Amino acid sequence: MTTNATNEKDAEARPFDASEFLKTLPRLPGVYRYFDAQGNLLYVGKARDLKRRVSSYFQKTLAPRTEMMVGLIARAEITVVNSEAEALILESNLIKSQSPRFNILFRDDKSYPYLKFSAGDFPRLSYFRGALDKKQTFFGPFPNATAAKEALNVVQKVFQIRVCENSVFNNRSRPCLLHQISRCSGPCCNCISQEEYAESVRLSKEFLRGESAEIQKTLQQKMERYAEKLEFEKAAAVRDQLAAISNVTQMQTMTATPDFNVDIIAAVIEGGQICVNLAMVRGGQHLGDRSIFPKFSKDTELPSVDEVIEAFVAQHYLEMDVPPVVLANVEENGDTISELLNALSPRTVYFARKPQGIRKKWLDLATMNARISLGRKLSEESHQVGRIEALTEALGLQFDREDYSNFKVECFDISHSSGEATQASCVVFANNKMDSSQYRRFNIHDVTPGDDYAAMRQVLTRRYSRVARGEAKLPTIVLVDGGRGQVSMACEVFDELGLDKNAIVGVAKGEGRKVGLEELIFADPDKLPLKLGKESAALMLIAQIRDEAHRFAITGMRAKRAKARNYSKIEDLEGVGPKRRKKLLAHFGSLKALSNASEEDIASVEGISHSIAKQIYSQLHG
């Protein structure tokens, strides 16, 4: 049930009447939303008792940040739900989807990594990011990619689980190099029985759950059995496994503790910035940590540590399982955090804000890591701001330091392989950093292969037609990788679209294509090219953006070229139509795997007879 406090049409005409609104509020759980006079969402909050919680905003004594927000309220809405837990879920979903000005937003572009065991007789172990499903077994999440890949490396080394793609596994005729260096047990070539491999998978799963003591006991017994049977080579292999597990356990285990699964959350606020450090302990092993920098309104007073941690808990644990123990450097709001955690977990969660003993050391360490990460970020931003300042001065742009968050550069590059697989890239520098979420690639169509000018015309027209229609804003600088010819082409496009071509800047390679000798070419033909010099901070920023555009374009072009070549070669095979082509690619995964397959392997594909398999094989190897 949703209720509007004021009519939206009348919101600008008259001030918000808090007293009338409060009279209508029920004493039920729900979510409340505040809007300004223009209809912009200011804040989203949840409450166990809507009347009590919302009334607290209209008392005489308020924190400066809250007082500023209340002064902007022109309209309010509430949504009543069944429980506080349901209110929490709705609140977090609204915050993530609508980004209210006064809420703290923990939006992380990267998902958490996992390790995945595939289904089948010989499961594959792999690094994984994305949505989880019930058909396969997942372990994690890990706080960062390094922690996940280190765990994968240990499991591969100790238990020799295969990591190859199914298309490779299904078409091996002899063991690969990983088997020769004792990193894989070679199930592809029957070097290990299905029962023995299943046992290795079972032990590796126990290891990832943190059950090292049980594994060591099992392996000890296994080694002794081999020794009794005088199978000393097998006993030695098990001994090496035991030694590897022992080394890992000694390095990773934080301390002997009953707290096998613990999250440690530490928030630090310094220099007008916020950092939250999340450290994870699973199965008594410290998996590592992750530093997160939330978004918040920079034109208001900074939130408190308690507000930051409450926002993190509410948003983070909607998508992640809550461990049995959570520690955080909360100052006063411990009861609220504890209620949130228990509302989000099916089991009781123990929360501590002032832990003792080893837990205190963990929290102190997480706080220190948050402070170090924040210091590094502030230092990097300071360097980046210096580069922006140097570039704006060199180009004669009027920008105050406070406005640098509005400074935006879009850079374009064209990439192809002798005219094949032409692609254009657009990378974006915004908010004092390269913003990969705004990167775009453009497939170029209907131009003469190798005609970079026509390709640049097409991509600029497609990119800035929305600006011409008023659907987007023109960036501060439009950077094109090229000299006078590319700049002239860009100017023609901007003239046709009715845009300000003074935003266009070309980057021409210097004499001998040496780094540091680049020239900046301007839209005004009477303006001489600008050489910034090797030591110029402005050139460092230009080079960073230009090189990123080049990298992004090349990786896209190579992927497109490989796909086109694979498809075209399979498409040229006689006797292979669209349906058979689809089945071959689905079975083998790639042209390379198909080329490595025998006639018998090809004939095993549904719809491929022995005669057609022989024909395909001879064409691929003729």
Alpha helix segments (H runs only) across 404-450:
none
310 — phi, psi (to 5°)?
A: -60, -45
CA 402 – CA 459 distance, rounded (Å): 32
The beta-strand segments (E) located in 563-609 are: none
Query: Residue 511 pLDDT > 70, yes or no?
Result: no
Q: What is the pLDDT of residues 44-73, one digit of tens each?
A: 988 888 988 888 888 767 777 778 888 888
Q: What is the pLDDT of residues 71-81, one digit of tens each?
A: 888 888 889 98
CA 340 – CA 47 distance, rounded (Å): 11
Give the rounded distance of the alpha carbon of 278 from its chain centre: 16
* Alpha carbon distances (Å) from 97 to 100, 295, 491: 9, 13, 37
* Residue 395 CB neighbours (<10 A): 16
Structure tokens at 119: 């289904």
Is the alpha carbon torsion for 7, 12, 14, 18 positive or negative?
Answer: positive
Q: What is the pLDDT of residues 100-126, one digit of tens each?
A: 888 888 865 567 888 888 888 899 999
Look at residue 462 and give its three-state secondary structure: helix
Query: Residue 282 pLDDT > 50, yes or no?
Result: yes
- The torsion defined by the Cα of 168, 169, 172 and 174, in degrees rounded to 10, comes to 130
- The amino acid that residue 148 corresponds to is A
CA 43 – CA 27 distance, rounded (Å): 20
104 near 292, Cβ under 8 Å?
no
Alpha helix segments (H runs only) across 7-133:
18-23, 50-55, 64-72, 84-98
Q: Which of 497, 442, 432, 445 is nearest to 471 (CA)?
A: 497
- The amino acid that residue 303 corresponds to is P
Domains delineated in the chain: 2-98 (3.40.1440.10), 114-252 (no CATH), 262-376 (3.30.420.10), 408-556 (3.30.420.340), 572-621 (1.10.150.20)
What angle in degrees, to the nearest 10, is found between the helix axes of 537-571 and 578-588?
A: 120
Q: What is the pLDDT of residues 164-182, one digit of tens each?
A: 888 788 877 788 888 888 8
Confidence of residue 1 (pLDDT cuts 50, 70, 90): low
Alpha helix segments (H runs only) across 470-519:
484-497
**Taking the CA of residue 237 as centre, how many other CA atoms within 13 Å lie in the half-sphere pointing to its CB?**
15
* Residue 398 CB neighbours (<10 A): 6
Confidence of residue 213 (pLDDT cuts 50, 70, 90): low
DSSP 11: T
The whole-chain average pLDDT of the chain stands at 80
CA 504 – CA 501 distance, rounded (Å): 6
**Taking the CA of residue 228 as centre, how many other CA atoms within 13 Å lie in the half-sphere pointing to its CB?**
6
Q: Which stretch, 354-358, 465-469, 537-541, 602-606, has highest mean pLDDT?
A: 465-469
Query: Residue 159 pLDDT > 60, yes or no?
Result: yes
326 vs 483, which has greater pLDDT?
A: 326
612 — phi, psi (to 5°)?
A: -70, -40
- The amino acid that residue 103 corresponds to is N
Which own/partner pairs from 250-258 qualify as long-range (CB within 8 Å, at least 24 positions apart)? 252/285, 252/286, 253/212, 253/284, 253/285, 253/286, 254/281, 254/284, 254/285, 254/286, 254/358, 254/362, 255/358, 256/284, 257/284, 257/358
